[in-house]
Structure 1
Amino acid sequence: MTDGLHAITVTINGEARPLRVAPSRTLLDVLRSELGLTGTKKGCDVGDCGACTVLLDGTPVNACLVLAVEVDGAAVTTIEGIAPAAGQLHPLQQSFMDLGASQCGFCTPGIIVMAKALLDRHPDPSEEDIRFGLAGNICRCTGYTKIVEAVKDAARRLAAAPPPAGR
């Protein structure tokens, strides 16, 4: 560590990534600048808007508030890693597209990641559950009605989908 950088290994979207990071560098900046994963957005940069939401070992976090050195050995899922396979969309992504649940789209990646965490823990949420679950993610363009409808639609799609192979 003579150059001031720390060696870490993080599994990002299923791929182990060895990195050398400055101790003050946020996970958000490493994702965007070093790894080119620009789907995770830099909004307020103080943890208020949710645009930078990622899953850290399955738990939603604001990547702007997490230092990269803190995720050594962890698994991070970004919006780029939500889809089940290359060329496919996650049911949340498909529902957002089909129902027009985004306006400018800046907040959409963070909302979809947060909604995935919600549906992972609560596969059949009520409207109240969805609104509460997404409360930390701000959309400046819309009144959230289409967002809530898209999450409900994705929950229906996920419930109707066959279980993954091997289970």
Structure 2
Amino acid sequence: MSAMLSTSTRAASGLRTGHTERACVPIMAVALPRKVMSARRVARTEKATLASMPVTADAVVAPPKIVHTITAEQYHDFLAEHSDKLVTMDFYAVWCGPCKMIAPELERMAAESDPSKLVFAKLDCGATNESKKLAMSLGIKALPTFHLYKNSKIVDTMTGAKVKSLADLINKHL
């Protein structure tokens, strides 16, 4: 009976009776390299890389800051220095997800704007005790918060990481 049971069990599992049992090995897909490269791929590989370019004196000079990072101690001086322009101040924190999401958009907006009319700055609200005190005194309760200044005075505020709303607000005051 036990011989019949093991034979029927083998038959039910798909193994042939009378043969030795083999361990099942999963079939895996293997990626083989392509022999023919597409025209787009060839064009990309023929471009000069940064490592192959000669280093000149111009390449060593750091590009100017587009979005200024300031501290609480620099806050009032920065506003006074740029009082003739519209200053867009981003109050953020390094741990804030929405702040991280909008940061590249601020860089893009700053790169596309006229620096003689519009200046972008950001202040980390959690960096020091002074920055926390400044944020509290300015009524910042949510991050990111944007303040727009003209002549060192707040002309408008916005809370949240809404790029289009921020762009509309800036255009309203330019």
TM-score under structure 2 length normalisation? 0.25
Q: Which of these two proteins has the greater Rg computed from alpha carbons? A: 2
TM-score under structure 1 length normalisation? 0.26
